[in-house]
Amino acid sequence: MVATLSVNLNAVAMLRNRRDLPWPSVTGMGRIALDAGAAGLTVHPRPDQRHIRFSDLADIRALIDDEFPQAEFNIEGYPSEAFLALVERHEPEQVTLVPDDPAQNTSDHGWDFGRHRAMLTEVVKRLKGHGMRVSLFADPEAQGLDIAKETGADRVEFFTGPYGGAYADQKAQAFELARLEKAAAKAAELGLGINAGHDLTVANLPALVKVMPNLCEVSIGHGLTADALEYGMRQSVQRFIKALG
């Protein structure tokens, strides 16, 4: 099983938003990524619209529907009523639910599944009723994954930030990789699909893939966008796909 790549466009949108200008184009970069072989596009529309704007969602949906119908649209966010209305309007193939505070810079922790079991169960049922696959953002721990499964979710996305952040410390990186391996084994045992995201790079992807043989998808934004500054979006997508094996 070879994991697929979903390109997160938030960093592209954040750069665009520095000026009241339409470039870099979010859909333009998305088109290049999909044409280069990415399996999908990911966005995280935060309430303050500091990177992806709500108005971007219809354009990305149209790009996929009109030009890349085999690709997937993944929208991630905290399941407020406003967020749920957005995803119901734009019908992504996958919704990734994250426990973020609106003020957070980026997602940095997974759900407390025991505490939020009832709410997540209700939201998962609502989204799956619209035909959407649902993934829950999770810390790289086996504990609580049985509850994640009980909510009806299809997948979990493991937070790989600590693994990516240990790039300069081999011992710490090995420790984080072992955590991810154990958590992924438990998720597979429960029948949950496995996604991963945060601070993944061409350099650290091969080791992750090796310990996660059931990995379905990686969602990568910051590292891929940084790579694209050097290699261009097309070549960077191809580099990341190659790193996935």
CA 213 to chain centroid: 18
Find the range with the poorest average confidence among 29-43, 58-72, 98-112, 126-140: 98-112
Nearest to 234 by CA among 23, 37, 6: 37
Q: List pLDDT tens digits, range 20-70.
A: 899 999 999 999 999 999 999 999 999 999 999 999 999 999 999 999 999
In which band, very low, low, confident or very high, does the pLDDT at 155 lie, cut at 50, 70 and 90? very high
Banded pLDDT at 100 (limits 50, 70, 90): confident
Q: Which amino acid is at 18?
A: R
Mean pLDDT of 113-134: 98
CA distances from 46 to 13, 54, 100, 171 (A): 12, 9, 10, 35
Query: Among 69-78, 103-112, 224-233, where is mean pLDDT lowest?
Result: 103-112
- Residue 82 predicted with pLDDT over 60: yes
Number of C-beta neighbours around residue 125 at 10 A: 12
pLDDT at res. 102: 63
CATH number at residue 102: 3.20.20.70
* % of the chain exceeding 70 in pLDDT: 97
- Give how many domains the chain has, as a whole number: 1
The answer to whether residue 220 scores a pLDDT higher than 90 is: yes
Q: How much is the average pLDDT of 9-15?
A: 97
Amino acid sitting at position 75: I
What's the pLDDT tens digit per position in 157-176?
999 999 999 999 999 999 99
CA-to-CA distance for 10 and 30, rounded, in angstroms? 11
> What is the pLDDT of the chain when averaged over all its residues?
96
Q: Which domain holds residue 44?
A: 4-243
pLDDT value, residue 106? 64
- pLDDT tier for residue 109 given thresholds of 50, 70 and 90: confident
Catalytic residues: 44, 76, 198
Helix axis angle for 54-67 and 81-90, nearest 10°, is 20
Q: Is 191 left (phi over 0), alpha (psi -120 to 50) or beta?
A: left
Query: Token pair for residue 141?
Result: 């721990």
Give me the amino acid identity at 238.
Q
For residue 1, what pLDDT is reported?
Answer: 80
DSSP string, 13-77: HHHHTTTTS--S-HHHHHHHHHHTT--EEEE---TT-SSS-HHHHHHHHHHHHHH-TTSEEEEEE
